[in-house]
Structure formats: structure tokens, C-alpha cells
């Protein structure tokens, strides 16, 4: 199936590893001109080469000025941005009563405001061309809050609302906006030392591997997602084959959240 992505200029944030890297790789394979972005210069350059991407930027998107810098640099290089995939994010486990104002503000700034700022930066060009696609990566925790990740859950629920808002505001101007809600995925966020699997097994007599197996077994499909499985859904929503889809929140979670919206 031709996805109609040849020569489309696509920004993928949080793309030095995991879902973002796989999204960049698949978009490149579909003929798109892809821009990757991460905080670390060396990791971003490695990701750019692995994905075959056209360009890479080392920027901290928690910095309010960085999203506009990313978009400006892309437009200077390619003349436009056709597709924006907001994927950057932070997740960790913490008890609700332990959350400080700083916990709330830091995760909100990265998980929500970097999306808002990136969207605001691409909108002028997309509106002028009467064309554009935005895909925001949320989470199952945005549809059904995780009690072990309260501030993360609230931030991801906000991403769902933001996605619907942008879809409603700009559909008549030819701009589509959708969200993807992944479940637990085999990325560094779960697999790395000190990651979510280690946080989940704290105080329990379980190895990291045993915890990962237990988390996977809790999905109806019986396993964690692979990054490329989430990326495939993102890329489809970026493509011309999804041209009549906007304002949607697609669960890609192995059946984790037992709702149909």
C-alpha cells in the first residue's frame, strides 16, 4: 500500500530511541524527509543515521524556545513542515501524596506544553498551505489513569483533549490532528536500569524480567508492545490513507483499556 508520504517533511520529537526512532525509521522508508530531535547531540546523530533521517536537532523541548527553533530550522532546510509527530515525554512512578508543585510543573511542561508549543509553531505554515497532519502520542494512562503515575496520567489525558481541540479548530483549514494511546511498550522507559519495570518491582521479590513478563501478561494480548507496532499506527495516521481521520484517539495497547473510545 502506498501511504502517500513520499517527500513529505516530517518532524518526530523524542526520536533518539524507542517509539520515536521507529516512527522516524518507517517514515523514512516510506520516502518522507524526516527530522529527528533529542536532547543529546551524540544520541540524536546516531538516531538520525539509524533512521536514515534527513536532519537532526539536539534540543531540550522543555525549553519554551526550543519547539519554535526546531520548526524554524526545519522550514529553513526544507521550506515547510507537512507532518508533526509529538512523541517526547517523561514517565515515572510516584505516590500522589508525594507529588510536589515541581513534579507537576516539570512533567506538564514537557509532556503537554512542548506539544502545544510545537503545534503553535507549525500552524502558520500549515494554515497557509491549507494542509498538514499532527499526531500526538498520549498513553493508555490518558484514558484510564494509572494510580502509580498520577502526574503522568493527567498530562496524557491533557494530550487527548489537546488533540481533539486542535482537530476541531483547524479541520476546515485542511489540518488533521489525532492522538495515539500506547500501552506498555518494550522501550528504554520500561527496560532500562531504574526504569518503570524496576520502579514497579521495588519492594517485591521479582527480577526485572519477571516484572516485565507480569506486566505483559496483564494485557489481553499477553505481552508488551514492540516500538514498531506503535510506530506503524502513528505512520498510518500521518499518511494519505487516513485522510478522513481527525479528532480520534487510537488505542494501540493490546486491549489494555477496556473501553471502545
In this predicted model, what pLDDT tens digit does every residue of 192-218 receive, in sequence order? 899 999 899 888 888 999 999 999 999
Beta partners for residue 33, in sequence order: 9
Could you read off the pLDDT of 178-198 as tens digits, one per residue? Answer: 999 999 999 999 998 999 998
Grid cell, residue 60, equals 531540550
pLDDT at 1: 82
Residue 36, pLDDT above cutoff 70 = yes
Active-site annotation holder among 92, 152, 170, 244: 152
* E-state strands within 13-124: 33-38, 55-58, 83-86
Distance, in Å, from the CA atom of 112 to the CA atom of 138, rounded to the nearest integer, reads 10
User: 109 Cβ partners below 8 Å, 6+ apart?
Assistant: 62
Report the predicted TM-score, pTM, of the whole model to 2 decimal places: 0.96
pLDDT band at 258 (very low <50, low <70, confident <90, very high): confident
- Of 117, 110, 125, the closest CA to residue 75 belongs to 125
pLDDT at 48: 97
Residue 92 annotated among the catalytic residues of the structure: no
Residue 146, pLDDT above cutoff 70 = yes
CB 88 within 8 A of CB 110: yes
Could you read off the pLDDT of 165-178 as tens digits, one per residue? Answer: 999 999 999 999 99
With 0-12 / 13-18 / 19 or more C-beta atoms within 10 angstroms meaning exposed / middle / buried, residue 165 is middle
Could you read off the pLDDT of 47-60 as tens digits, one per residue? Answer: 999 999 999 999 99
Q: What angle do CA 148, 154, 157 make, to 5 degrees?
A: 120
pLDDT at 203: 80
With 0-12 / 13-18 / 19 or more C-beta atoms within 10 angstroms meaning exposed / middle / buried, residue 31 is middle
Residue 236, pLDDT above cutoff 70 = yes
With 0-12 / 13-18 / 19 or more C-beta atoms within 10 angstroms meaning exposed / middle / buried, residue 97 is exposed
pLDDT at 227: 97
Residue 30, pLDDT above cutoff 90 = yes
Distances (CA, A) of 205 to 92, 192, 200, 208, 209: 20, 18, 11, 10, 12
Residue 261, pLDDT above cutoff 70 = no
Element housing 249 (H / E): strand 249-252
pLDDT at 14: 97
Distances (CA, A) of 84 to 21, 139, 201, 237, 240: 14, 18, 36, 11, 14
pLDDT band at 17 (very low <50, low <70, confident <90, very high): very high
Element housing 251 (H / E): strand 249-252
User: 49 Cβ partners below 8 Å, 6+ apart?
Assistant: none
- Of 224, 222, 191, 225, the closest CA to residue 208 belongs to 191
Amino acid at each position: 500500500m502506498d501511504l502517500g508520504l513520499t517527500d513529505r517533511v516530517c518532524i518526530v520529537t523524542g526520536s533518539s530511541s524507542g517509539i520515536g526512532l521507529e516512527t522516524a525509521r518507517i517514515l523514512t522508508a516510506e520516502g518522507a524527509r524526516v527530522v529527528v530531535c533529542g536532547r543529546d547531540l551524540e544520541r540524536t546523530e546516531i538516531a538520525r543515521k539509524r533512521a536514515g533521517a534527513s536532519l537532526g536537532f539536539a534540543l531540550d523541548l522543555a525549553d519554551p524556545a526550543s519547539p519554535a527553533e526546531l520548526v524554524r530550522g526545519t522550514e529553513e532546510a526544507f521550506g515547510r513542515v507537512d507532518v508533526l509527530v509529538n512523541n517526547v515525554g517523561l514517565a515515572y512512578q510516584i505516590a500522589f501524596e508525594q507529588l510536589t508543585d515541581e513534579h507537576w510543573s516539570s512533567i506538564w511542561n514537557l509532556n503537554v506544553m512542548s506539544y502545544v508549543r510545537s503545534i503553535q509553531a507549525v500552524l502558520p505554515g500549515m494554515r497557509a498551505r491549507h494542509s498538514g497532519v499532527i499526531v500526538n502520542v498520549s498513553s493508555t494512562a490518558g484514558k484510564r489513569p494509572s494510580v502509580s503515575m498520577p502526574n503522568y496520567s493527567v498530562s496524557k489525558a491533557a494530550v487527548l483533549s489537546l488533540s481533539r481541540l486542535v482537530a476541531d479548530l483547524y479541520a476546515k483549514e485542511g489540518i488533521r490532528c489525532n492522538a495515539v494511546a500506547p500501552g506498555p511498550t518494550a522501550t528504554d522507559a520500561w527496560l532500562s536500569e531504574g526504569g518503570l519495570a524496576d520502579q514497579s518491582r521495588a519492594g517485591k521479590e521479582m527480577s526485572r524480567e519477571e516484572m516485565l513478563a507480569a506486566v505483559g501478561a496483564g494485557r489481553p494480548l499477553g505481552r508488551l508492545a514492540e516500538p514498531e507496532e506503535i510506530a506503524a499506527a502513528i505512520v498510518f495516521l500521518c499518511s494519505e490513507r487516513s485522510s478522513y481521520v481527525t479528532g480520534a484517539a487510537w488505542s494501540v495497547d493490546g486491549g489494555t483499556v477496556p473501553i471502545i473510545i
